[in-house]
Structure 1
Amino acid sequence: MNIIVTNGRVVTMDATGSVAEAIAIRNGKIVDIGSTDEIKAYRRSDTTEFDAAGRTVLPGFIEPHNHMVLFGVSLLGVDARTPPNRTINDVIDRLRSRASETEEGQWITGRGYDDTGLADMRHPTRDDLDKASTKHPIVIWHSSGHLLAANSLALSIGNVTADTPDPAGGRIGRKPGTSDPDGVLYEGPAQVLVTQHIPAYTKQDVRYGFIRAQDEFSRQGVTTIHDASVGRSRGVDMLDTYESARTDGLLKLRVNMFLQWQLLEETDFGFEPGAGDDWIRVAGCKIVSDGSIQGLTGALREPYHCDKNEKGWLIYEQDELNAMVLALHRRGYQIATHANGDAAIDSILDAYENALRIEPRSDHRYRIEHCQVCHPEHIERMRRLGVIPDFFANHVYYWGDRHRERFLGPDRINLLDPVGSSIRAGLLPILHSDCPVTPVSPLFCIQSAVHRLTSSGEILNASERVSVEDGVSTMTRNAAHAAFQENSLGSLEAGKLGDFVILEQDPFRVAPGEIGQIEVAATVVGGQLMYGKDDLSMG
């Protein structure tokens, strides 16, 4: 498709920071950028023209850590988030309503409860969920995805009893003073005791959820994603979901797949690193090294501020993690490792350094996902090793107050998501939403890094604020670099892929606290309009 965009403020995000008025795309690639008069020379009978009418045009946003397919699946379950739920009873009411229309014995699932966001300030227990139904097995996931709550029937089906030991890398919540399970299962190795019994989703259900999720990503200006946990479970074959969507003409964005370690291990590393094309490719491997700070499972050097007996834990012993990383390193995979706590960041940097010492490589672009409790020495080690931090800066807004008052305390809170320090050290950090953990919105991620405002209106460590240009770079130019795609994506330059967004307001000219509220007028991928507001002028 051939298109031109005229009468805009085209912020190219190229190395020189150039700004133009118009852009021309032919056969999916940018052919020229310049003034409106210059670009109108490319108009042909088959050309679609977008009149930006003074709006801002940016490179398409790259969302470098999300779970889009799982987000779609989560839309099929009960909404347990806070808000709209304020109390555990609110969640129970929603579950009870779903149970009333569900055949007895059928599973009921939900997602998104936040224990410290609820007025009860605790996790729902098996006894709570039994109030919704004792005739349906029920599971609801925590907003972080790192723990879940199950009712008594679900625990019985999973044979989770007082005699069940904690699995390696996981933990079974117990009622105080007893070994009886309380219904809360921490981290994947414990969750799977129950979740392996949940019936598989149908392909039709997965497709329905995927379309809803993808539409929301397009509405937010996302043109490329890095799916940070691609695998197969409970009938959800994520690779097939993406490929079948493309085959059926439904794929609206580009997909970089970070395959789960378990999938690569099961297939004897049967997926070639970098295999694919401009639409779907194998980017690398995702490893999970610890849990969630707000779930008290993220691995910290020192105990949690709210619990002096808890430091979280590492999913893998160091020797095991070293072996995993070295196996991937030798096979040429890019590695992206989830590490929230400072002890987990220590561990993965040790593993990366070990692999690079054994077999040196200069341009691996290994990543640390979330990278939340990040010390100055971590930043220096990342700089020295060539590691990219993928910060979850939305934590500043959504959990910043609770991190300061409950989880990390007044001192460690200053280590949270140090985007500014990493830029000053010469790193190329990226930002993400971790959707569905927080809503997908590149502009809100940028706002969180630029403004660092918590949900209570407090500024959290102003020294870590970044400029708007640096903020936008984290989800355009830097994010392309973080997947070895800087030659085709991340800036608007001749020869690159024709992916861009048109915004209703200019993020460089609004107040920092208003960036996240800017609406997307159009999202274009490869010269194809994937989302457009009704009032967008096209000719």
Structure 2
Amino acid sequence: MTARPDLTVIHARTLTLDDAQPEARAVLVGGGRVLAVGTREEVAALAPRAGVLDHRDLLLTPGLSDAHIHLVGYGFSLSELGLQGARSVSEVQAKLLQRTMNTPAGTWIRGGGFLLGELGLNDYPAAQALDEVSPHHPVLLYSRDLHLAWANSLALRLAGVTGATPDPEGGRIVRPLGTLLENATDLVARAMPAPSEAEYLRAARAGADDLAARGYVSAHTMASEDAQAPRALQALAARGELPLRVWASLPHERLDHARELGLGQSVSREGPGGLFQWGGVKFFADGALGSRTAWLHAPGFADGSGTGIPLDSPALIRERGAEALRLGLSPVTHAIGDRANTEVLDAYDGLRDLAARRGVPLRIEHAQHLRPEDLPRFRGIAAGVQPIHLLADGPLIRSLLPHLEGESYAFRRLRDAGAILAFGSDAPVAPPEYRANFAAAITRRDDEGQPLASGEALTEMDVLWAHTRGPALAAGWDDEGVIRPGARAAFTLWDRLGGNARALVL
């Protein structure tokens, strides 16, 4: 009896995340879809000539998804100056000096990944420290949260930023010069040479390939990138070279051009390759914790730096969010501070009925610091959260937001309130490392080994759901994040849950 190459049976202990059949021992796949799930004997009887993949020593689950990543930016970051874990300004200087020695004079050096607190800084850094080791290369270094940039004098000069330059709307130029907050970072970023189309394609391929190699089968790429970034992903999809499924959001500023992108009820939102989809419209309600730009209720930051920087107004989110929903797109709003989350929930209250009629989920990204009275309001909302951020944020929360220590990263209460938990990494802000998300969500211990709101801990199965089914529901995909007939044949194989993993897409 010859095998049928169009049918494959996978033998493995299988966690399906399907309540009707939570576990199985065999899965029948054909045409990129799950055809049957059951015991080895049951599946063999259905397809006696199917090919067999024997993974009985491994665990099979729905495929991992990163529900919040800047995929092309992550691809670029793989070749940029990495400053994750830098513990002092002198360490930053040493890394930068080494990069300048291998870079032609006049060439821009971009990097990032530092945190002010980890550098031992209580104030924003000035350009002088970078000038000491890089006077002939323009330098722009982003903090880990991407809401702060540190530039040297040559970069500021090329960008035309002086002490007399006014703060842009939604941003701040710190004096003495060197640090730029929120929208002010664009003043220098715009002076950098734009990457070529070929460079965007290389970065898109690098980011997608890296994610797939880690065991992911899909990703939600967010809008804090140039328009060329999603176009590069679309090009890979059209060529059949995209190794995972991508759900993309566009900035609300480009919503007027949405129909030109092929969006709307009468036009398919999937790219020619079938793996790229426009799905969301991105808003920013505030900044971030480490940059002291998260929008907070009083009393604000404990170091006296204020209550943060509000960005897109609730009125704009409500108005443009309705326009997005009418196009079948999800409003996707970055909200980190407790005030930002309150204001976004207020805006979303006016959108819930329209979202329900359109069958499109509302999303809040990060949702890091919350008032207890706002938690029940997350019912039915997709909460795109990143447990990995808890690791570095724990010490910051204790020093900057001690009054919110028990209200930060409230995963269990969000779940119990009926929110759809969708885990991601926010790469390149943090590496797309699912192990760190498992560890942070389950142990609730930060990089200093200290607990943070231990009562918010989740189980391994909770984390698996939030890294598979949760992202699928947040994207409006009923055919992913579950193993049942009709679902996409996109799986992750594990040696143990939360351990080593690899993708299996058939």
Equivalent residue, structure 2, for 1:376: 372
CA distance in 1: counterparts of 2:206 and 2:55, whole angstroms: 27
Equivalent residue, structure 1, for 2:445: 453
Q: Which amino acid aligns with 2:312?
A: Y
Q: Which amino acid aligns with 1:126?
A: A
Equivalent residue, structure 2, for 1:198: 192
Change (3 A) 1:122 1:271: farther
CA distance in 1: counterparts of 2:260 and 2:238, whole angstroms: 25
CA contact (8 A) 1:4 1:42 kept: no
CA contact (8 A) 1:148 1:191 kept: yes
Equivalent residue, structure 2, for 1:534: none
Shift of 1:468: 2.2
CA contact (8 A) 1:230 1:258 kept: no
> Which secondary structure does the structure 1 equivalent of 2:56 belong to?
coil
Change (3 A) 1:92 1:342: same
> Which secondary structure does the structure 2 equivalent of 1:232 belong to?
coil
Change (3 A) 1:360 1:252: closer
User: Unaligned regions of 5+ residues in structure 2, if any?
Assistant: none
Shift of 1:364: 3.5
Q: Deviations over 1:470-523 (max 9, x none)?
A: 22111222221111112x111000111101011011x2xxxxxxx3xx101x31
CA contact (8 A) 1:230 1:238 kept: no
Equivalent residue, structure 2, for 1:466: 458
Equivalent residue, structure 2, for 1:29: 33
CA contact (8 A) 1:7 1:54 kept: no
> Which secondary structure does the structure 2 equivalent of 1:255 belong to?
strand
Equivalent residue, structure 2, for 1:523: 503
Shift of 1:119: 4.1
Superposition TM-score, scaled by structure 2 size? 0.92
What is the correspondence of 1:209-358 to structure 2 with a 5 Å cutoff?
Answer: 209-229=203-223, 231-232=225-226, 237-265=228-256, 270-273=261-264, 275-276=269-270, 278-356=274-352
Equivalent residue, structure 2, for 1:76: 79
CA distance in 2: counterparts of 1:44 and 1:34, whole angstroms: 14
Aligned-residue Cα RMSD (Å) equals 2.4
Q: Deviations over 1:78-103 (max 9, x none)?
A: 11221xx3322222222222222322
> Which secondary structure does the structure 2 equivalent of 1:21 belong to?
strand
Change (3 A) 1:484 1:267: closer
Equivalent residue, structure 1, for 2:141: 140
1:185 counterpart = 2:180: yes
Deviates more, 1:20-29 or 1:436-445: 436-445
Q: Deviations over 1:111-149 (max 9, x none)?
A: 212211224565542101101221221111111111100
Superposition TM-score, scaled by structure 1 size? 0.86
> Which secondary structure does the structure 2 equivalent of 1:438 belong to?
coil
Shift of 1:262: 2.1
Q: Which amino acid aligns with 1:191?
A: T
Equivalent residue, structure 2, for 1:500: 491
Shift of 1:23: 1.1
Shift of 1:271: 4.2
Shift of 1:358: 8.7
Q: Percent identity?
A: 26
Shift of 1:361: 4.0
CA distance in 1: counterparts of 2:140 and 2:112, whole angstroms: 8
CA contact (8 A) 2:289 2:337 kept: yes
CA contact (8 A) 2:378 2:417 kept: no
Q: Which amino acid aligns with 2:381?
A: V
Change (3 A) 1:6 1:331: closer
User: Unaligned regions of 5+ residues in structure 1, if any?
Assistant: 176-180, 508-514, 528-539
CA distance in 1: counterparts of 2:234 and 2:355, whole angstroms: 34
Shift of 1:402: 2.4
Change (3 A) 1:102 1:374: same
> Which secondary structure does the structure 1 equivalent of 2:288 belong to?
coil
CA distance in 2: counterparts of 1:380 and 1:18, whole angstroms: 28
CA contact (8 A) 2:222 2:249 kept: yes
Change (3 A) 1:297 1:230: closer
How many residue pairs match? The answer is: 497
CA distance in 1: counterparts of 2:113 and 2:419, whole angstroms: 33
> Which secondary structure does the structure 1 equivalent of 2:222 belong to?
strand
Q: Deviations over 1:193-221 (max 9, x none)?
A: 11111001123333333333223211222
> Which secondary structure does the structure 2 equivalent of 1:251 belong to?
coil
1:484 counterpart = 2:476: yes
CA distance in 1: counterparts of 2:245 and 2:460, whole angstroms: 25
